[in-house]
Amino acid sequence: MEEEHSMECYNLERAVVLVQFIGRRFLSGQRNFLTCFGVGLLAGIFIVNLGKGMLLGDTGLFNEDILYHMKYMTVDCNALFCYIFRKRILRLLVLAVISTTYLGLVACVGISFWYGMSAGAFLTTLALRYGLKGILLAVLSMFPQYLCYIPAALLLLTWCEELFRGIYTRGEFNAADKGFLIRKAGRLALILAAVTGGCLLEGYVNPYLLLGFLKIF
């Protein structure tokens, strides 16, 4: 009985250590990508402020004419969803494939920086042009789909980093290791499901929220 109890305690300790190790790796990967995103965010803010004379002119980004036409346009939600779904899933699969090459980690870092810079430019443009209303418009344009996209992006970047390091750094990947492939496929399926949920929200829910806000903008 004592031996069985000792063995159970040992197995429990190993499981706790394994979970802690995986958690540290996951959070470490997230921190790296969030740092790249933050640097890109600052770069986007700097670029817009540097070129605001050109970007924020009468014919610049998100001018009143563009918002006026958006306010009265009709949205084909089915077509919008199909367009968004193709674009999001294609990018996801391309990044997943690239992560199996030597450019995998570079691609993850580059995408984190690019999306940060895009977000910084987007938020700064609307804030400089419309003030508080612009900030509300920026937030609403990302709601509610980014409740799915943000965790999916973090999971995808971590998944790609782990796959890259498993192949090229630690040598954990083995084409004959079905367990490894099943685990990776299962996590990728979860990410795909989250992205699909975000596409549904972006195609069928967000347009009505955005157009409703623009009518009182």
pLDDT in tens, 33-71: 888 999 999 999 998 888 777 766 665 667 777 777 787
* Whether the predicted pLDDT of 7 surpasses 70: no
Mapped onto helix, strand or coil, the DSSP state of residue 201 is: helix
How many Cα atoms within 13 Å fall on the side-chain side of residue 171? 0
CA distance 51 to 45: 10
Position with higher pLDDT, 29 vs 196: 196
* Whether the predicted pLDDT of 93 surpasses 70: yes
Q: Which amino acid is at 7?
A: M
CA distance 179 to 192: 20
Mean pLDDT check: name the lowest of 5-19, 163-177, 193-207.
Answer: 5-19
Task: Quote the pLDDT of residue 77.
Answer: 92
**Could you give phi then psi for residue 138, rounded to 5 degrees?**
-65, -45
* Whether the predicted pLDDT of 4 surpasses 90: no
Return the residue matching tokens 């006026």: 68
Q: Which amino acid is at 19?
A: V
Q: Region 93-98: what's the mean pLDDT?
A: 93
Q: Which helix (H) or strand (E) holds 216?
A: none
Inter-residue contact 80 to 199 (CB < 8 Å): no
CA distance 138 to 212: 14
Fill in the DSSP letter of residue 183: H
Q: Region 88-117: what's the mean pLDDT?
A: 92
Its pTM stands at: 0.78
- 54, 59, 62, 63: CA torsion to nearest 10: 120
Which residues does 44 contact at the CB level (< 8 Å), separation at least 6?
Answer: 116, 117, 118, 119, 120, 121, 122, 123, 124
Structure confidence at residue 97 as a pLDDT band (50, 70, 90)? very high
